[in-house]
Amino acid sequence: MPERLTSDAEAAAPITCILSDVDGVLTDGRIIYSDTGMEIKQFHARDGLGIKLWMTSGFTFGILTARTGNAVVQRAADLGITHVMQGFEDKWPAAQEMLGAIGCSADQVCYVGDDLPDIPVMRQVGLAVAPADAASDARDAAHWVLRSGGGRGAVREAIERLLRAKNRWHEHLKTEHGS
């Protein structure tokens, strides 16, 4: 069981980077193959907007996944995500490598994961987050368990919660006067 944080503001204060798993977090976890063997993934538009808002707020977003596939490369390119590591079943060493490239420490990281391979990373970072439908062990390792499921806006929910706690969400709201 992770150490519980007393408030969202306390949890969010040091966070400058979000690392996310793909299957079960940015997707609903289903792996679909076409008749030709091409892997197909579905991503939620709200997660994409949330990632863009996080990055335009001056923070870093990275993808760390055990599987490899062109859909992840395409989605990352569409969103402007430059930190992508695929094919790493042992995620903590890969996360350490990515953090070195980004230039931040583990306590500055929010990691969103949903299953057993994510837990070693979740145990090392400043803020561990799990979608509502994550495996029970991943939920137990999380500081925050979200209301949204994987592939259903979970990453957006985490980003919005972080930006609100940092008093940065208002920067992205438009008033009826367009400001």
Structure confidence by residue, pLDDT tens digits, 151-161: 999 999 999 99
User: Which tokens sit at 26?
Assistant: 């940015």
CB 14 within 8 A of CB 5: no
Q: Which CATH architecture has domain 19-106+125-169?
A: 3-Layer(aba) Sandwich (3.40)
- Ligand-binding annotation for 8, yes or no, is no
| 118 vs 16: CA distance, rounded Å | 19
The string of pLDDT tens digits covering residues 60-103 is: 999 999 999 999 999 999 999 999 999 999 999 999 999 999 99
Residue spans of the domains in the chain: they are 19-106+125-169
Find out whether 114 is annotated in a ligand binding site.
yes
Q: For the whole prediction, is pTM greater than 0.75?
A: yes
- pLDDT of 5: 67
Answer for the pair 61, 17: CB distance below 8 angstroms, yes or no: yes
| Residue 32 CB burial class (10 angstroms; 0-12, 13-18, ≥19) | exposed
pLDDT (mean) for 99-112: 97
Residue 2 scores a pLDDT above 90:
no
Is 78 annotated as ligand-binding?
Answer: no
Residue with tokens 């395409």: 74
